[in-house]
Amino acid sequence: MIAVQPPEYFPRLKYMAVVQKVDHFILADTFPYRRQSFQNRSKLRSPQGWHWITIPIFGRRNGAPLREIELETGGRWREKHWRSFLYNYRTTKYFEFFEASFRPFFEQTWTRLSPCVCRSVDLLAELLGLQTSIMRASELDGPPQTLGGVARALDAELLCVPSGHAPESLPEGVDVQAVAYEHPTYRQNFEEFEPGMSAADLAFNYGPEARRILARGRTPEADGPDPHGPRPRETG
């Protein structure tokens, strides 16, 4: 069972729940970059509720392949993002436990978006203790630039997709399973619950228990047939 999604910057729970569900997760770094998506930004919990952290992109490159997107290197975004994590999460139960493996991300120089956000997904998977094999589409022969192309390159038989994200066409023999997710409520570092935060929020608050809470959000639809029925197949 595989899933294929563009990398996001320290993704939310519903993204990481798909990672948790499958055997192989493909970071689609050959797919297009989309402005105002989660590909270069994430939400962190704060005393005021929540706030964005955003990676600055060089130029207007909407629609260009993710792996071609360059970052602005003159600013201090890495330092600012680290300080945001430090300020908002240093009093959580497990921040100190994870700090040694988490902080080096912000000490590395990133010049392109793809390796930066791909590493953020890998890092969250490590913090959550997920055993899924994660690789990048750019590592495959081609490399493939479509969902069907990735499925074909891997000879996939079962593809997991987020509920409501139906692929338009797939190679013959590939079945689709939807992963529905209902965001669980859990204890955060500040009063009142805010959904949709980076999964780092759950990891810093719950440590080893975070993996169980993450899985709790998957609904029965995740283990059943695709509710939208069969998908069109590629022909020719």
DSSP 208: G
Integer CA distances (angstroms), 194 to 119, 124, 152, in order = 25, 19, 39
List per-residue pLDDT tens for the chain, 236 residues long.
999 999 999 999 999 999 999 999 999 999 999 988 999 999 999 999 999 999 999 887 788 999 999 998 878 999 999 999 999 999 999 999 999 999 999 999 999 999 999 999 999 999 999 999 999 999 999 999 999 999 999 999 999 988 877 777 788 889 999 889 999 999 999 999 999 999 999 999 999 999 999 999 987 554 444 333 333 333 33
Amino acid identity for residue 51 in this structure: H
Amino acid identity for residue 188 in this structure: Q
Angle at 38 between CA 34 and CA 43, to 5 degrees: 155
Phi–psi pair at 234, nearest 5 degrees? -70, 140
Look at the pTM and tell me if it is higher than 0.85.
yes
Query: How far is 92 from 90, CA to CA, in rounded Å?
Result: 6
CA 231 to chain centre: 24
Per-residue confidence (pLDDT) for residue 182, from 0 to 100: 94
Amino acid identity for residue 135 in this structure: M
Q: What count of other Cβ atoms lies within 10 Å of the Cβ of residue 171? A: 16
> Are residues 199 and 19 in contact, defined by beta-carbon separation less than 8 angstroms?
no
Per-residue confidence (pLDDT) for residue 220, from 0 to 100: 53
> Which helix (H) or strand (E) element contains residue 53?
strand 49-54
Beta bridge partners of 218: 181
Per-residue confidence (pLDDT) for residue 231, from 0 to 100: 38
